[in-house]
Structure 1
Amino acid sequence: MPYVIGADLPQEPAGERFRALLDRPEILGMPGAHLGIAGLLAKKHGFEALYLSGAAMSASMGLPDLGMITIEDVCFFIRQVARSTGLPLLVDGDTGYGEALNVMHMVRAFEDAGAGAVHLEDQLLPKKCGHLNDKKLASADEMCAKVAAAHRARRHLYIIARTDAVASEGMDAAVARAQRYLEAGADAIFPEALTTVEMFREFRARMPGVKLLANMTEFGRTPFLTKEEFQALGYDMVIWPVTHLRIAAKAWDQLYAQIAAEGGAQNAVDRMQTRAELYETIGYHKYEELDASLVRTIIPTAMPQ
């Protein structure tokens, strides 16, 4: 039967599919994959949900992660990954792009674009990466209003409240904030920038029965822990938010340096995904078959001598 665009995408709302993954006993691991091709490659290796990082999306646009991108910018990334993979996506909602009404607009826009979950953070603009210093926090009342707005607006979106309070206000304040965010309508809590295994263990112990998200980012304040180690600590989700971008950007940098130095990419071919591998990843021939008038492409297998 000929391939039909979108026929293989799930019909159940992404938020419901995200919840179903969390209902299982094992931890849900979500690598960052904010581009369609990255999502397809992650799916190929068995990942069942993906993470869209605000830092990765901003950097892809040549911008710093300071809350500068818009709801529509993010929806562009959501649409391509949701369409290409069919997987439920957890999306970085930063501070909600404004106040309560803006949060409601964000929730509906993200749902329409295909997101399954969003996390909101309790920082003030200009917000910062959670692992940097001098973060400025919104009041708990302000954050609760945003969480309540998201809860009221959602049809199926899973809502995760992130607190950055540990670094500046301490563990007691972070736990108190998290409890209030749950009361306001959050489904889960994301304690950001915990710096020791003991802190992860303490936060878990003080939030019994609550779904928790751990952030395993590089060059930050959290020590390297594996998915299995986070599960042993009682966490339900873990993200590797910008790992894929760091790898890709380093490879781009090395490639451009090589072209500049050698006058071409002839000595970089062994590091490239081949044309055949790329076409397999993006399903090139499935789309080609939609138009019977096209002749099936023959892929060159060797370079001209």
Structure 2
Amino acid sequence: MNTRFALRTLAEARRGALLPGAFNAMSARVVEDLGFEALYITGAGVTNMQLGLPDMAFVGLAEIAEATSRIRDAVELPLLVDADTGFGNALNVRHTVRTLERAGADGIQLEDQVSSKRCGHFDGKDVIGTAEMVGKIKAAVDARQDADLVVMARTDARAVHGFSAAIDRAHAYAEAGADILFVEACTSADEIRVLPRDLPQRPLLMNMVIGGKTPIVPADELATLGYGLVLYANAALQGALLGMQRALATLKETRQLTEASGLVASFKERQRIVRMPQMDELAKRFG
């Protein structure tokens, strides 16, 4: 199935499909290997893992496009790509959509924060006007070459103007042509429960940030409520960070580390994920 159509179909099924985040080709391979149906290329993850910096607009279009291209080559899953604010005004959004579509994105997320943006679960956010964001969404829809490319509109207005204002913005973004709606940083289970009722016209994504402002709700419950996608943007990153800390702390303390420690993947497993057996077969075929 065409991956863009597959992503659109997955969201429209409204069955709470899990969407893990990936920050490089290896993490994307792990997501695919475990049998997930799609993945999210996380701007926060690329920033954290490539620069060692917080999610505060330190990466731009070039870095996200490069990450998208590399992940597209590594996996066959549908890719929903975090494009932050679109990296500028409506004309910049047009360029962003064209660039990421060529890089292999199947869906593109745009948010209504001011530049430079902050992680949706940080304090101190601000948002642009509704009309300006509507213009960006229209530019994104107009720019796509493939009608199946998904445009997802995120609003961060919940933290700035309140829950009702966020719902009003989401309605406006749907009317502008957004295919999926994303109200970031809901702060209560009640807010999570009423969103599908108040925004029935488009599939919704709910972001489960581990340690963030939104309470963690099981994906099965979110599916029952009618959410299309359940995002765990940085679960892999946080798991990798803890794994590195534990493995290296043991190495420092004991001055050795083996597969038997249970703290590292085996050499064989590492080569399987990076497809060394397939490379060997290709070497025989062409060598």
Q: Shorter-chain TM-score category?
A: over 0.9
Per-residue deviation at 1:268? 7.0
User: Helix, strand or coil: the match of 1:75?
Assistant: helix
Paired AA for residue 56 in structure 2: L
Cα offsets for 1:119-175 (capped at 9, x unmatched): 111111221111122211111111111111111101232001001111221222111
**In 1, are the aligned partners of 2:209 and 2:232 still within 8 Å (CA)?**
yes
1:261 is displaced (CA, Å) by: 3.2
State whether structure 2 residue 38 is matched by structure 1 residue 46.
no
Give the alignment partner of residue 183 of structure 2, picking from 175, 186, 191: 191
Deviation at 1:266, TM superposition (A): 4.3
Q: Does 1:246 align with 2:235?
A: no
Residue identity (%): 34
Once residues 147 and 126 of structure 1 are traced to their aligned partners in structure 2, the CA distance between those partners, rounded to angstroms, is 18
Q: Confirm or deny: 8 A CA contact 1:34 1:78 kept in the other structure.
A: no
The code of the aligned residue for 1:130 comes to: G
TM-score normalized by the length of structure 2: 0.92
| Correspondence 1:200 to 2:189 | no
Could you say which structure has the larger radius of gyration?
A: 1
SS in 2 for 1:67: coil
Counterpart CA distance in 2 for 1:213 and 1:76 is 25
Residues of 2 paired with 1:262 and 1:294: CA distance? 45
Aligned counterpart, 1:262: 254
Distance 2:117 2:33 in 1: 34
1:281 is matched with which residue: 273, 279, 282?
273
Distance 1:221 1:239 in 2: 14
* Bigger helix fraction: 2
Corresponding residue for residue 70 of structure 1: 60
| TM-score normalised according to structure 1 size | 0.87
8 A Cα contact 2:182 2:205, kept in partner: yes
State the partner residue of 1:58. 47
For residues 281 and 227 of structure 1, what CA distance do their matches in structure 2 show? 27
RMSD: 1.9
The Cα shift of 1:267 comes to: 8.1
CA contact (8 A) 1:78 1:110 kept: yes
The aligned counterpart of 1:133 is 123
Q: Does 1:124 align with 2:114?
A: yes
Alignment of 1:73-88 (within 5 A): 73-88=63-78
The residue that corresponds to 1:301 in the other structure is none
Paired position in structure 2 for 1:225 = 217
The residue aligned with 2:144 is 154
* 8 Å CA contact 2:83, 2:109 repeated in 1: yes
Matches of 1:294 and 1:253, distance apart in 2: 41
Residue 33 of structure 1: aligned partner: 22
Q: Give the SS at the match of 2:108.
A: strand
Structure 1 residues without counterparts, runs of 5 or longer: 1-9, 296-305
Count of residue pairs brought into register by the alignment: 284
Q: 1:181–1:25: structure 2 CA closer, same or farther, 3 Å change rule?
A: closer
Query: 1-side partners of 2:206 and 2:175: how far apart?
Result: 21
Of the structure 1 ranges 235-244 and 31-40, higher mean CA displacement relative to structure 2 is found in 31-40
